[in-house]
Structure 1
C-alpha cells in the first residue's frame, strides 16, 4: 500500500484531476448557494452582497498575487531565474481562490462556512500541483520525500574491459544475427559509488543500462556515457524521474539495435540544501573530485563504458547545468560533449565576494576559473560539442545562452543553442533539449548513422546569438 501511494503521479492521472475537481466544486457550491440561498431580513441585497463581495475579493487578491509573483520573479529576480507565466498565473489563481474563500468564511455560517474553509485547503493543494505540473519537478508523491521505486544493485565488475567491442562491430553483429536475445528495455539501478579519493558524502547514484548492455553473451559494446545532474535542490532520483531518462533512452534504444548511452545520475550536492558549486571546498566537501575522479573512474572500470572523452557527455539542469559547463569546459580530456539546460551565468551561492571567501579561501582567480566564459577562453581552442538550451519563457537563462554560446563558438566549439518553445525554467525544457542532445551525441559516437536535424524537433527553435 505504501509503495502504491508513493508511486501516485502528481503531474497526471487521477490525483490532480480529483484535487482540481474538488476545488472547482466547492467554489461553484459557494457561488450557487449565494445566488439561490436565503439571506434573512437582508433579502435581495444580502444575496447581492454574498455574490459581489467574494468576487471582488477574488479579483483583487488574484491581481495582487500575480503582481507580487511577477515582481519577485522578473523584477527583483529573488529566485535567480524567471518563474515563467504559467507559474505566475497559478499564483494569481491561488490568491484569488483564497480571497474568495476567506470572504465567504467571514460572511457565511454553518455548512457554507465549512465549505469555504475546505476550499482554502483544496485551492492551495490544487495550485501546488499546478505549479509542480508547470515545472515537472516532483513526478510522484514519493519524490516529495526523496522516495523512488528504483532498486539497489551491485554493478561492481559488471564487465571487463577486454570483453568490450566497438559499437560499430556490435551493430554489424546484430545485423548478421550473431547477437540475439536483446531485451526490449534497459534497467535503472540505485548504486553506491565509492568516494575513494574525494571522501565526498554523496547520496546513491542512479545508472541506466541500455538493452545492449544487458544482452546475453560475454561481449558487450563499449557504450558512450552521459553524466547527468539535477538542479538544486535536487537529487539523482529527481533527475531520472523529472527528466524522463529511462523512457527517453529506451525509446532511442528501440530504434538503434538496443544501443543507447549509459546514463549516470550522480549526486553533486550531498543534500538538497547544499549548493557545492561543484568544487572542492571545506564547506561541503570535494564534490569536484567525486564527479571527475570517483564517478568517472568507477564507471570506466565497472560498466561497459567507452574510455575516450569523445564518448562522454556531461549534462544537467539549472545548477547542474552550470556544473556541467564548469566541469566540461575545464576538462576536455574527460568530456567531449556538454548538454546544459537553463544554466546560470556562473556558480551562484551568495555574492561573488562571499563565494570567493567561503568556497575558494579568498582566491579570486580560482573562482573566476569556474565561470564558464572564462574557462572557455582559458582552454581555447576547443573541439568539444556544446548543445546549450533553455526554456523559451526563462528570460534569464536565454540571456545566459546569448552570453556563453558566442564565446564557445569563437573558441572553436561545435555549438547549437536552442530554446524549448512554451517552457520556462523547468524539466520539460530539459527533456526537449536532452532529446535533441541525445540524437547529436548518438550520431557523434556511432550509435546512429543518421545525422539529426533541428527541424525534426518542433519543440525547439534556434537561439540567435
Structure 2
C-alpha cells in the first residue's frame, strides 16, 4: 500500500502544468463555473452585484500591484503584463463566485465554490505558464523528483589523461547507432565539505557521451534561479539542438542546487543560510571531476546561470578564472540579494557592508586580469532591469580582459523564453571556445 501511494504521489508531481490535459480541464472548469454562476437565476439585481464584485476583484489586483510591485518591490522588478492580466481575471472571477455564495440554493453555492477554486487554480496555472519555467507540479512546488541517471564510467582519471593535440570537433566521428538526443536525470552529490543541504542535481549527458567509447567532453556547471529547481530540461533542449548540428557533440551539464532544500536566496556565498560557495567549489566540482567523463582542461569548463544563478555564474567565473574558461550569465542579477539588498546585508553578510561590496561581481572583475576567458551576457529587451545589468557586466568583463559579448534578445521577458533564448545565443559563442565547433565563427544549432 505504501508503494502504491508513493507511486501515486510521484505521478502527481510529474503532471504537466504548462501544457497537457490538466490546464485545459482547469480553464474549462473556471470559465464554465463563472458562466453558470452568472446565468443561473439571472436577474438585473444579480448582474449588478456580479459586475460590482468583478470590478472590486480587478481593483484588488491593481492594489496588490501597487503595494507589492511598485511600492515594496517584493519581486525585484515587474512581473510582466500577462501576470497582471491573469491576476485581475482570477480575482474578479473569485469575487463573483464569492458573491454567489450568498444566494439561495445549496447546488448554486456548490457551483460557486467550484468556480472559486478553479479560478484560483486557473490564475495560478496561467501566471506560471506566462513565465514557463515550472513545467510540472513538482517544479511548481520546488520539489525535485529523483530520476537516478546511470553515469558512464570515466575513460581514465583526468590527471592521467594527456591533453588532446587536436580539438574534438576535428577528431570526433560519431559512431553508428549514436542516440539522436541526450539523456537527463538526477544525481545526489555528497556535501562532505560544506554540509549544505541541497536537492539532487540535474544532469544532462549529450549524444556523444552515450556511445560505447565516449570522448572526454567539456562540462557546464549550471545554476538556476530563485525560487527554482535544478532542472536540466531547459539547457538540455538547447544543447540537443546544438548536438544535432555538431555530430552529437555537446558539453555534459550538472545543474547544481545553490538555493538548497529550503529554497532560500543564498547569494551563492557562505553565510548562516549554509556554506553554498564551499558546496559548489569543494563538493560539486570535485564530484564532477571524479564521476563524469569530462575534460580536465579548465579552458573546457563553463559556469552558467540564469537570473539568481546568473549572478552566481559571473561571481564564480570572475573569482576563479583558474577553474572556468567560459562564463554565461542569462538575465543575471547584479549582485547577491539584489532584490532586497538591505535584507541580504544582514542575512548573508552579517551586516558587514565592506564584505558585501567585495562579493559583488563588478568588484570581483576589478580584482583580476583575464586571459583567454570567454564570457556571454544575455537578457531580453522587454526585461530592461536585467538588460541593464547584462550591459554593465559585459562592459566590466571586457575592461578586465575577458572576451565578453552581450546578446540582446528581441523578447522573452524574464521567463522561459529568455532562459532558452539566452542559452541558445550564448552557446553559439561558447561552442568554438569549448572546441566543439570550428573556431572563427559562431556555432549553429538545428531548428529556427
TM-score, normalised via structure 2 length: 0.87
More displaced 10-residue stretch of structure 1: 50-59 or 381-390: 381-390
Counterpart for residue 44 of structure 1: none
Kindly tell me: are residues 135 and 350 of structure 1, through their superposed partners in 2, closer, same or farther at Cα, counting changes over 3 Å? closer
Rounded Cα–Cα distance in structure 2 between residues aligned with 1:151 and 1:52: 57
Give deviations 1:10-47, integer Å, cap 9, x for gaps.
Answer: 00011101100111111222233344xxxxxxxxxxx1
- Written as runs of structure 1 = structure 2, the 5 A alignment for 1:427-438 is 427-438=416-427
Rounded Cα–Cα distance in structure 2 between residues aligned with 1:432 and 1:350: 23
CA deviation after TM superposition for structure 1 residue 408, in Å:
2.4
CA deviation after TM superposition for structure 1 residue 63, in Å:
3.5
Kindly tell me: are residues 359 and 230 of structure 1, through their superposed partners in 2, closer, same or farther at Cα, counting changes over 3 Å? same
CA deviation after TM superposition for structure 1 residue 164, in Å:
7.5
TM-score, normalised via structure 1 length: 0.84
Q: Verify: 1:385 aligned to 2:400, yes or no.
A: no
Find the residue that maps to 1:315 and give its secondary structure: strand
Counterpart for residue 215 of structure 1: 211
CA deviation after TM superposition for structure 1 residue 110, in Å:
3.6
Give deviations 1:325-347, integer Å, cap 9, x for gaps.
Answer: 11111111112222222322211
- Written as runs of structure 1 = structure 2, the 5 A alignment for 1:267-282 is 267-281=257-271
Rounded Cα–Cα distance in structure 2 between residues aligned with 1:260 and 1:427: 21
Counterpart for residue 49 of structure 1: 45
Rounded Cα–Cα distance in structure 2 between residues aligned with 1:275 and 1:231: 9
Rounded Cα–Cα distance in structure 2 between residues aligned with 1:189 and 1:135: 23
Kindly tell me: are residues 457 and 213 of structure 1, through their superposed partners in 2, closer, same or farther at Cα, counting changes over 3 Å? closer
Counterpart for residue 22 of structure 1: 29
Give deviations 1:371-401, integer Å, cap 9, x for gaps.
Answer: 1111112224555322222344333222323
Q: Verify: 1:339 aligned to 2:333, yes or no.
A: no
Counterpart for residue 224 of structure 1: 218
Q: Verify: 1:200 aligned to 2:196, yes or no.
A: yes
Rounded Cα–Cα distance in structure 2 between residues aligned with 1:453 and 1:385: 14
CA deviation after TM superposition for structure 1 residue 94, in Å:
1.1
Rounded Cα–Cα distance in structure 2 between residues aligned with 1:156 and 1:166: 19
Give deviations 1:422-463, integer Å, cap 9, x for gaps.
Answer: 432223211110111122211222212373389x998xxxxx
8 Å contact from structure 1 (residues 167, 222) kept in 2? no
More displaced 10-residue stretch of structure 1: 283-292 or 319-328: 283-292
- Written as runs of structure 1 = structure 2, the 5 A alignment for 1:12-411 is 12-35=19-42, 47-145=43-141, 146-148=143-145, 150-153=147-150, 157=154, 159-161=156-158, 162=160, 166=164, 170-172=168-170, 174-175=172-173, 179-217=175-213, 220-236=214-230, 239-241=231-233, 244-281=234-271, 283-348=272-337, 352=341, 355-356=344-345, 358-360=347-349, 363-380=352-369, 383-411=372-400
CA deviation after TM superposition for structure 1 residue 82, in Å:
2.0
CA RMSD of aligned residues (A): 3.0
Q: Which runs of 5+ in 2 are unaligned?
A: 1-6
CA deviation after TM superposition for structure 1 residue 407, in Å:
2.2
CA deviation after TM superposition for structure 1 residue 252, in Å:
2.0
Rounded Cα–Cα distance in structure 1 between residues aligned with 2:338 and 2:392: 20
Q: Verify: 1:446 aligned to 2:435, yes or no.
A: yes
Rounded Cα–Cα distance in structure 1 between residues aligned with 2:105 and 2:155: 68
More displaced 10-residue stretch of structure 1: 321-330 or 199-208: 199-208
Rounded Cα–Cα distance in structure 1 between residues aligned with 2:59 and 2:165: 57
8 Å contact from structure 1 (residues 66, 89) kept in 2? no
Rounded Cα–Cα distance in structure 2 between residues aligned with 1:288 and 1:62: 44
More displaced 10-residue stretch of structure 1: 5-14 or 53-62: 53-62
Find the residue that maps to 1:430 and give its secondary structure: helix
Rounded Cα–Cα distance in structure 1 between residues aligned with 2:188 and 2:238: 24
Find the residue that maps to 2:253 and give its secondary structure: strand
Find the residue that maps to 2:355 and give its secondary structure: helix
CA deviation after TM superposition for structure 1 residue 323, in Å:
0.9
Q: Which runs of 5+ in 1 are unaligned?
A: 36-46, 459-465
CA deviation after TM superposition for structure 1 residue 287, in Å:
1.5
Kindly tell me: are residues 106 and 299 of structure 1, through their superposed partners in 2, closer, same or farther at Cα, counting changes over 3 Å? same
Instruction: State which structure, 1 or 2, has the greater radius of gyration over its C-alpha atoms.
Output: 1
What count of residue pairs does the alignment treat as equivalent?
438
Kindly tell me: are residues 48 and 249 of structure 1, through their superposed partners in 2, closer, same or farther at Cα, counting changes over 3 Å? same
